[in-house]
Structure 1
Amino acid sequence: MPAWAEGLRRAAAGLALGAGLAAGALAQTSDLVAVDALRVCADPANAPMSSEDGSGYENVLAELIAEKLGVSVTYEWYPMSTGFIRNTLRDKKCDVVIGYAQGHELVLNTNHYMTSVYTLIVPAGGDLAEVETLADPRLKGRRIGIVAGTPPGAHLARHGLIARSRGYPLIVDRRHQSPAQDMLADLEAGEIDAAILWGPLGGPLVKRAHPGLKVIPMVREEGAPRLFYRITMGVRQGEKVWQRKLNSLIRRHQGEIDALLHEAGVPLANDMGTALVVPGP
């Protein structure tokens, strides 16, 4: 065989071997994901998002995704705290986290399925009901509840509102504590004048059980840090096939997802967090 022909043969063999190894790696990655069920990693007491009784809107979203996949839903329950990803997704006990902020390095993010914002929550009939930003002078001297260490704290400080604010803990075991619900209870009792909560948490809580309160999405707040975040589903690093499958489902059923979230009370914003988005009929 001429030397040039032998070189081509060896090159072709090398390409075939490389393709075979790549296909094997792909199959191995795909094999980690269950095909008979949507295995969800979730906090059992993270209402209104996820709940062991199935009442959270992330539970409903999981049911929607499972229906489109033609499988049932199973859960690996673990408190959303330090070690959550390590003890669930990375340990291969489940295959997807339904709600995860875009860009977090612990997971491989799908395309985002919603953008939401922090909210200011006030008594619906009170003198703060028309406030739209923290720069409003009507907030001066008011007692504002905020979860410690969250981005709106910097905005409170910028506008001179931090001195009288009341902090609520960020990291808790939701099976035993609920800072968001405590904050809303304090607001209704008059112990604070306003509350600041992440929209996908505060909006549904108010809609479910606090009809006397008004949720004001903070889409007009200026300056850093940003108060909007894009929410994705999280899968294991390297599982590109599974990621693409979920991306396709999100794209094809975005209207249903939007309607589900809107019905739950989640404030939906455009991708830059500058305006609210109301799903069409």
Structure 2
Amino acid sequence: MAAGALAQTSDLVSRTALRVCADPANLPMSNEAGEGYENKLAELIADRLGLPVEYTWYPMATGFIRNTLRANRCDLVMGYAQGHEMVLNTNHYMTSSYTLIVPETGPLAAVTALADPALKGKTIGIIAGSPPATHMARNGLMMKARPYHLVVDRRFESPAVDMLKDLKTGELDAAILWGPIGGPLVKQGYPGFKVIPLTQETLPPRLFYRITMGVRQGEKVWERKLNSLIRRNKAQINQILQEAGVPLLNDMGTGPLEATN
């Protein structure tokens, strides 16, 4: 598709490059070296548009959307939870969930839900303020929980990596991480760990989310173009995510994505 393919979008959307807003140090999603799976997704979309990728780098923390997408410095955020009001969401391109990560040969390897008695009295790492913390409290698992920071500048701090290191050294018995972060990190560096999607938690807050691409509010033509690309390239998108180690679920978050999807 030629660069002129974006001619129908608003004047704010670049017609000469796919301008992506991304965190420069946010592996496994993105980094400046282009090693994250969101970098690969951006390359796929850019290839289908016949455009080069251009990045605006900004830490994924407070002010990210205001200083990138809303400032018209870029036109696309590769990963954003469905329903977030700060962006106009495309159709979702994946569904994933929070996961329990444990040694694959240990006594917790058969656990599938946070209500499992095997977790009682265990030291579990949790990102402070994340949705699974509510479920841990409900199941009496907070007494020995070890919290890790929620909002950080990944250039200087990496709570997910720290949590997995502590699990490896035995300081933790288990770790709870967002699957699209924990799954790829385990695949890359912790082959002895098992990643268990938390799909059996029926009470709120929900632990699965549909992930979309985010564009500026009002950019309906650009959104529809991306929706078309997501639909027509679903197999390639799934392949990128699965190769990265992202645990993909069905749209209702109740089980693994069927291979035929």
When normalised by structure 2's length, the TM-score is 0.95
What is aligned with 1:227?
A: 207
What is the distance in 2 between the residues matched to 1:40 and 1:105? 19
Q: Does 1:200 align with 2:187?
A: no
Aligned-residue RMSD, C-alpha? 1.3
Deviation per residue, 1:181-215 (Å, 9 max, x gap): 00000000000100000000000000011111110
Structure 1 residue 278, shift from structure 2 partner: 4.3
Residue in 1 that maps onto 2:225: 245
Give the AA of the match of 2:85.
E
Matched, 1:80 2:87: no
Instruction: State the partner residue of 2:20.
Output: 40
Please name the residue that 1:256 is paired with: 236
Among residues 132, 145, 157, which one is paired with 1:152 in the alignment? 132
| Percent of paired sites with the same residue | 69
Give secondary structure in 2 for the equivalent of 1:244. Answer: helix
User: Which of residues 187, 198, 209 in structure 2 aligns to 1:218?
Assistant: 198
User: Whole-Å Cα distance in 2 between the matches of residues 188 and 263 of structure 1?
Assistant: 23
**How far off its partner does 1:28 sit?**
9.5
**Bigger radius of gyration among the two:** 1
What is the rounded CA distance, in whole Å, between the counterparts of 2:188 and 2:259 in structure 1? 20
2:73 is the counterpart of 1:93: yes
1:68 aligned onto 2:62: no
Deviation, 1:222, is 2.3
Question: Which secondary structure does the structure 2 equivalent of 1:39 belong to?
Answer: strand
**1:79 and 1:173 in contact (8 A); partners too:** yes
Unaligned runs of 5+ residues in structure 1 are 1-26
Counterpart in 1 of 2:89?
Answer: 109
Contact 1:255-1:279 at 8 Å conserved across structures: no
Would the aligned equivalents of 2:101 and 2:195 in 1 still touch at CA under 8 Å? yes
Change beyond 3 A, Cα 1:45–1:157: same
Q: Report the equivalent of 1:19.
A: none
Give, in angstroms, the shift of residue 259 of structure 1: 1.2
Residue 147 of structure 1 deviates from its aligned partner by 0.1
1:272 aligns with one of 242, 246, 252: 252
SS across alignment from 2:10: helix
Alignment partner, residue 135 of structure 1: 115
Partner of 1:169: 149
Q: Which runs of 4+ in 1 moved over 6 A?
A: none
Would you say 1:118 and 2:98 are equivalent positions?
yes
| Secondary structure, aligned partner of 1:30 | coil
Structure 2: runs of 5 or more not aligned: 1-6
1:34 is paired with a residue whose SS is coil
Which SS does the other structure have where 1:85 is aligned?
helix
Structure 2 distance, partners of 1:29, 1:38, is 13
Distance 1:209 1:28 in 2: 44
- Partner AA of 1:58 in structure 2: E
Paired residues of 1:262 and 1:279 also in contact (CA < 8 A):
no
Contact preservation (8 Å) 1:147, 1:169? yes
TM-score by length of 1: 0.89
